[in-house]
């Protein structure tokens, strides 16, 4: 189970890095390398996890405040890693969100496929 989680994390990071690299190229960020994209994807994931952990402890408003603070910190991390403008960093972040949606879909399909393989499909329920 742990290996599957690590595998999904690696695939999600590679997908996020690819889309961030693509977004950086489309935004015409200078010196946008795939290595910088991997660093930006890892930074975005770390910021999201840490901010979510901290603000999930605050009832109701914590989720919204955590999202906004996480968003701002992630964009500034992207800005710093790529050494670019705020506007270009926002565009790279948009591509990061697209990648995260794709990664979640892949994760759901993988999990659902595993459930069907182990449980014998709907008939096994």
Tens digits of per-residue pLDDT, 10-49? 888 898 899 999 999 999 999 999 999 999 999 999 998 8
Q: How far apart are CA 99 and CA 104, in angstroms?
A: 9
Average pLDDT for 79-94: 94
Query: Which residue carries 């994760």 as its tokens?
Result: 107
Under 8 Å between Cβ of 70 and 52: yes
Q: How far apart are CA 101 and CA 99, in angstroms?
A: 5
Other residues' Cβ atoms within 10 Å of the Cβ of residue 15: 19
Cα 72 to its chain centre, rounded Å, is 14
Average pLDDT for 49-57: 88
pLDDT of 6 above 90: no
Q: What pLDDT is stored for residue 84 in this prediction?
A: 95
Q: What pLDDT is stored for residue 99 in this prediction?
A: 82
Cα 14 to its chain centre, rounded Å, is 10
Polymer length of the chain:
125
pLDDT of 106 above 60: yes
């Amino acid at each position: 189970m742990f290996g599957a989680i690590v595998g999904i994390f690696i695939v999600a990071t590679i997908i996020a890095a690819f889309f961030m690299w693509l977004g950086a190229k489309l935004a015409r960020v200078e010196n946008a390398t795939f290595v910088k994209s991997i660093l930006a994807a890892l930074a975005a994931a770390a910021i999201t996890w840490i901010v979510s952990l901290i603000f999930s402890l605050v009832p109701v408003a914590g989720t919204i405040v955590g999202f906004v603070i996480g968003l701002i910190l992630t964009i500034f991390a992207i800005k710093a890693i790529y050494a670019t403008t705020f506007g270009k960093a926002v565009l790279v972040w948009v591509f990061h969100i697209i990648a995260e949606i794709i990664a979640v879909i892949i994760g759901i399909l993988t999990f659902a496929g595993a459930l069907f393989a182990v449980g014998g499909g709907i008939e096994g329920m």
